[in-house]
Amino acid sequence: MARKFDFHTDAGHGWLKVHVQDLADIALTVADFTPYSYRAGAWLYLEEDVDAGTFISQWEAKRGEFSCRQVDDGYNSWIRNLDRLPAGASFDDITF
């Protein structure tokens, strides 16, 4: 059975919710993503244009099937208020 991830959307954008351990499990780090994605503790919200695709491609190559469930956050998602990922960050640079 495929692991199911949440894909949050609002009126203008979308973000894939992944745990930092999911990244480590497929040989990615926070530095592989743009500062257009967000974080909340050990959870990352990968923006849909580039970062979510990077994660999904790697997940499918390493783990196989990928699936997600849609989460509608209304007109303006709370995710927009989270801290952005720093450019070129690593797991060691982010405190949880």
Better-scored residue on pLDDT, 79 or 87: 79
Q: What is the pTM of this model?
A: 0.87
Backbone angles phi, psi at 36, to 5 degrees: -90, 0
Better-scored residue on pLDDT, 76 or 92: 76
Structural domain span for residue 64? 3-86
Element (DSSP H or E) covering residue 38: strand 38-40
* Number of domains into which the chain is organized: 1
Q: How confident is the model over 22-52, as pLDDT tens digits?
A: 999 999 999 899 999 999 999 999 999 999 9
Listed residue (43, 42, 47) closest to 9, CA to CA: 47
Q: Report if residue 92 sits inside a domain.
A: no
Q: Report if residue 74 sits inside a domain.
A: yes
